[in-house]
Structures are given as C-alpha cells and as structure tokens.
Copies of this chain bind each other. A is one copy, B any other.
Amino acid sequence: MSRVFLDYAAITPIDPMVAKDMEKAQKFWANPSSLHREGEIAKKTLEEARIKIARILHCKAGEIFFTSGGTESLNLAILGVIKSQRASFEKPKAVFELPRSQKTAFGFLPHIITSTIEHPAVLEPIKNLLKEKKVEVSFIAPNEKGIINPESIKKEIKENTVLVIIQHANNEIGTIQPIQKIANVIKEYKENTRVALVLNYPYLLVDACQSVLYENVSLERLGADMLVFDGIKIYGPRGAGILIVKHAVGIESIIFGGGQESGLRSGTENVPAAVGLAKALEIAVEKREKESVRLIKLRDYTVAKILKEIPSSSLNGDLENRLPNNINICFSSQNFGSQGSPLKNFAPKGDPLRNFDSEFLVIKLDTLGFAVSSASACHTLSLENGSYVIESLGKKECGSSSLRITLGRDTKKSDLDLLISALKKIVK
C-alpha cells in the first residue's frame, strides 16, 4: 500500500543535494583541530559552511555555533545566558560599578519572559532553572488564535529581565509570532531605561526551528540576539543544529572539553553536518517563496474543505499568521467555553458530544495509509496529557481531540483529497 506522509513538522527527509554535499565532505574527514594539512582542509571546509550560513542569515561567521540539534541549541542559549548573567547578579561589588538607575537590577534573580506555547526544549530547561531557584519567569499566554501580543511582553519587562524567548512559529499549530514587534518592544525598553550600555539585556532568543523553510529569518530583519534552528526540520542532516549568538550577548558553555566552537561548544566538530546545514539552508531560501505560495494554496483548500465537510471540526490557531505547511484541526463538538465556537451548532442530532481522541485518529489514519500526528513528536513523556499548546488557546476540549497535518515538498493536492476522504470515513 502506498503511504502518504503528512508529518513534516516532526521531521523532513534529507534533500538528495544535501546528502551529496555531505558525502563529498566525508573526503575531508580529519579532525579540524589538527595542525596538519588534512586538519587544515577539514577546518577550511567547516569555516566555509559557517560563512555560507552567516551570509544567508546576516550575521557574523563568528556568531554561528554548530551543535547537535535544536534542543541542545536552545538549552545552551537559555542555560548558558543565565549562567553567564548570574555571576553579575551575585557579585555585590558590580553594583558600585553601575549607574544609579541600574542598581535595582541586583538583589533579584535573573528574569525570563517566555510564552506558554514554546517547545519543550525551551519550557523544560526553564522549569529546571525554576526548580533550582535560579530564575524567575513570566509565562505569557497567547490569544485564542495562538498569537502572542507584544504588549503583554512589554508589561512584563523589568530591570532584571535577561531573556525574552519566543518561537518564530509554533510547532503544533503553526502560528507565526510578531517577532519584529517584540524586538521593537525590547529595543524601546533598552533605549528608555539603560542609561549607559553597561547592561545590554534583555536578549531576544528566537526558536526558528519550524519557520526557516517559509520565513526570512535574517537576524537583522527579525531583530533577534539569538536564533536557533535544526537540520532535521529543513531537509538537512540529523543530529545537527545551529545556535547564533550575537557578539554582544553574555553566554557561557554548558558542555566542557577541548574548547571547540570558540570555547562555547566542546566536542570534535561534525564537518559533514556543518556542510549539510549550509546546503539545506541555501536550498530552503531558494525554494522559500515558490514553495510557500504552493503550500498556502493546498493548506487553505484543505482547511476549508475539512471545516465544511466535517461538521464537528474547527481550526486550531490563526489561519492568516500561520506556516504555509501547517493544518491543525480539532474534532470536537463540545462547547468551547468562554471563547465560543463558530461550530457549536453543528453537533449532529443525538450526539451532542463528539470528541475524537487524537491518538485514535492518528492510529486509524495510519492503518489507512496516512502518517499524521496528534500533537508534537516531542512529548514522548507526556503524550497522554493532550496538547498544552491547544489548551493554551482556551480550547481545553481540543487538547486531546486534534490532528496535526503538516505538508512538505512532496505533498500533492491528490494526497490531501485522499486524506479528507479518509477523515470523513472515520469522523462520520
């Protein structure tokens, strides 16, 4: 039986051109830290990949750090910045070195602002810092459409705010956040309150894992201080990610050893992975515009058709500010509480509560030949609890009754027509 893969938010296959470049790079297999010619060639290959990425993202090559993936990158950014800043929070003598207006920053814990719908690779390190009483955190909820209001971040910023962490696009519902506006809020705060430039935080950390394929993630354009993405989400290498840290940001290592990656990330450099990341990014940028237009058409067609033909369904998250490849549908006719549901009158007679369990839908569709997802693939420990992202939208009943359908480069209209037919059979 032929299969239809519609779970591209979980992972993408390696682009054949990326695989080819990586295979070529395997010829230069020496250790880039070695002094001899073989080492030099490996080092050169690594640095060329770094420069290529820097040009695409409008940052300096020295601001790019290769890691083992998005999760490590986000952990390094969060734990590394807090570690670096905690030192200054703890040193009382630093207070005397600062202008009067900045003194109150000390005596507090470092403060983080983030949203309730971030990926576990952001929420879990933060939880860990909270458990260790090393930070205080403001969690911002999105509106019912899954969008973070920059004003709600503005309200939370204070003297000891070191990090603002917002994902560019959500991994479950695909909503795109107003990163530039959030960057402006931070910039304004700095201009108004930081008398001297002694304290240059809050830093804006943007998780761009899901957005790189469809959005321009230039650091200049976004106004981000740190940016993260992952090879597996962009038809690139596995076990490979990027953390970009602008030079002004104070950050320390979380893994220690040979001092590779300018001392920030120890461990022998993975040269083929770096080459693969550069190529995958290059291809992504090349295809971005055309592929976005194509997928938006397919996405909107599918969403409209499902909402029309399956009465108990509703879209999770905003349709307008949304990744071109993301469809997330709730199959529940339950009352949507205070938010109200546009579909609440569609509940068929004699079946007032039609809640379809996410896992049931995924497994049922799987037997019919479709690979889709219940929430995110990254909740291996907490799947049974439903989606905290969808619950954050105020749609509690949808947390365990939703399907994520994510499109990719191989997705055709006929695949989606088949899926809609299959869905109608199951949710009849």
Interface residues of A (CB under 8 A from B): 3, 5, 7, 10-11, 13-14, 19, 26, 29-31, 33-39, 67-72, 74-75, 119-121, 124-125, 127-128, 230, 232, 238-240, 253-260, 263, 266-268, 270-273, 359, 362-363, 365-366, 370-374, 376-382
For the complex formed, measure the closest distance between the CB of A361 and the CB atoms of chain B, giving whole angstroms.
10
The listed residue (B39, B239, B378) touching A33 by CB distance below 8 A is: B378
The listed residue (B13, B39, B255, B382) touching A377 by CB distance below 8 A is: B39
> In the bound complex, how far is the Cα of B363 from the Cα of A69, in angstroms?
35
Provide the residues of chain B in CB contact with A19, threshold 8 Å: 26
The DSSP consensus for interface residues of chain A is loop
Are B35's CB and A359's CB within 8 A?
yes
Provide the residues of chain B in CB contact with A258, threshold 8 Å: 71, 119-121, 376-381
Q: A14-B26, A31-B11, A268-B232 are in contact. Are A75 and B256 (CB under 8 A)?
A: yes
User: A26's closest neighbor in chain B, by CB?
Assistant: B14
For the complex formed, measure the closest distance between the CB of A363 and the CB atoms of chain B, giving whole angstroms.
7
Are B10's CB and A238's CB within 8 A?
no
For the complex formed, measure the closest distance between the CB of A18 and the CB atoms of chain B, giving whole angstroms.
11
Q: A14-B29, A267-B69 are in contact. Are A37 and B3 (CB under 8 A)?
A: yes
> Which of A29, A67, A266 counts the most chain B CB atoms within 10 A?
A266
> In the bound complex, how far is the Cα of B105 from the Cα of A415, in angstroms?
64
The listed residue (B270, B379, B382) touching A239 by CB distance below 8 A is: B270
Provide the residues of chain B in CB contact with A125, threshold 8 Å: 255-257
The listed residue (B29, B36, B254) touching A362 by CB distance below 8 A is: B36
Are B256's CB and A127's CB within 8 A?
yes
Are A10's CB and B37's CB within 8 A?
no
Provide the residues of chain B in CB contact with A30, threshold 8 Å: 5, 7, 10-11, 371
Q: A258-B378, A268-B69 are in contact. Are A34 and B7 (CB under 8 A)?
A: yes
Q: A71-B255, A379-B258, A379-B259 are in contact. Are A31 and B3 (CB under 8 A)?
A: no
Provide the residues of chain B in CB contact with A379, threshold 8 Å: 33, 258-259
> In the bound complex, how far is the Cα of B362 from the Cα of A29, in angstroms?
19
Provide the residues of chain B in CB contact with A31, threshold 8 Å: 7, 10-11, 232, 377
Of the A-B pairs whose beta carbons lie under 8 Å apart in the complex, a sample of 13, sorted by A's number, is A5-B38, A7-B38, A10-B30, A11-B268, A13-B29, A33-B378, A36-B373, A39-B371, A71-B266, A238-B271, A257-B378, A258-B379, A268-B377
For the complex formed, measure the closest distance between the CB of A49 and the CB atoms of chain B, giving whole angstroms.
13
Are B377's CB and A121's CB within 8 A?
no
> Which of A14, A29, A34 counts the most chain B CB atoms within 10 A?
A34
User: A261's closest neighbor in chain B, by CB?
Assistant: B380
User: A252's closest neighbor in chain B, by CB?
Assistant: B128
Q: A72-B255, A125-B256, A377-B31 are in contact. Are A37 and B366 (CB under 8 A)?
A: yes
Provide the residues of chain B in CB contact with A71, threshold 8 Å: 255, 257-258, 266-268
Are A35's CB and B363's CB within 8 A?
yes
